[in-house]
Amino acid sequence: MHRESIYRRYKPEFTPNKENNGNAYWFLFNSNELLVEMGKIPEIPYTKSLEELKINPIRLQYLGTFNGHPCYSGELPSEIQVPRGMAFKDLRSLYDIIEEDLYLLAGRASQIVNWDRSHQFCGQCGAPTITKDDEMAKLCPECGFTSFTRLSPAVITAIIKDGKLLMALHTRTSGNMYGLIAGFVEPGETLTEAVQRETMEEVGLKVKNIEYFGSQPWPYPHSLMIGFTADYDSGEIEVDGKEIIDAKWFDSDQLPQVPSRMSIAGELIQWYLENYSI
């Protein structure tokens, strides 16, 4: 991936600096929808305190600083009255609309809010947990069990055969947008083994020459997408009918509707076009 990391502008921290009391970025969620200011383009609320917006969150989490400004994530009550000039928007709908670095940070915020909400009690003994002040983790004061933010790695692969790209129609994708072969990594397997297994399970093909391409946080709800390229080895396309309902080899000048380049899927397809265009 050629994208610059948000960590060039974003500094993760766990304890707010009391002297840094200027305006802050507020990533506030009602369920899976993000509160944004509505203008020509949606923007992340940027203000000194939530009192100015008359908002009382259920919980807040300090994320660190972005361009030197404090950042907070928070969970809002379902019955909240939306401030004037603002709206709740599904995070996916803001893809490719708000500034990319802030979108990636919003994805991090979403994952932390969901994790915080679902880890208020210890998964081992059931006692109420506390948030550690030196790392993003929940500690059980009763049994000492520590739980960290959840992350689910998934692989996604651009598979090439005779200069053609394999693309598949997923059951979970709306419309007629074809995508790449992808799936979650299972316990006990390597990333390349996951690529081989998912390809065999979904379309009945064997692949070879698997090479790492890049990775991307994917907050739907807590994934890390790890991209690969691979060459076709053997087999005939046979879709599983559960996750994949169609799959085809496409020439570079015949690609169907494809994902945005902001996604790692889009980056992989762009890599294919740059290297295999007719």
Query: What are residue 122's phi and psi, to 5 degrees?
Result: -65, 130
Identify whether the C-beta of residue 183 lies closer than 8 Å to the C-beta of residue 194: yes
Task: Catalogue all structural domains in the chain, each as residue range(s) with its CATH number.
Answer: 6-116 (3.90.79.20), 119-149 (no CATH), 152-276 (3.90.79.10)
User: Parallel, antiparallel, or unpaired: how do β-strands 130-131 and 10-12 relate?
Assistant: unpaired
Residue 133's pLDDT band, with cuts at 50, 70 and 90, is confident
Largest Cα span, the chain: 64
CA 48 to chain centre: 28
Which pLDDT value is given to residue 261? 67
Mean pLDDT across the stretch 192-214? 97
pLDDT the model gives residue 87: 95
Q: How far apart are the first and last CA of the chain?
A: 23
**3-state SS, residue 272:** helix
Percentage with pLDDT > 70 across the chain: 96
pLDDT digit string, tens, across residues 51-99: 888 899 999 999 999 999 999 999 999 889 899 999 999 998 888 788 8
Rama region for 139: left / alpha / beta (φ>0; ψ in -120 to 50; rest): beta
Angle at 47 between CA 136 and CA 4, to 5 degrees: 55
Q: How far apart are CA 168 and CA 244, in angstroms?
A: 7
Supply the pLDDT for residue 96.
79
What is the pTM for the complete model shown?
Answer: 0.85
Is residue 82 a contact partner of residue 29, using CB atoms and an 8 Å limit?
Answer: no
DSSP string, 101-162: HHHHHHHHHHHHHHHHHHTSB-TTT-PBPEE-SSSSEEE-TTT--EEE---EEEEEEEEEET
What integer is the mean pLDDT of 240-249? 92
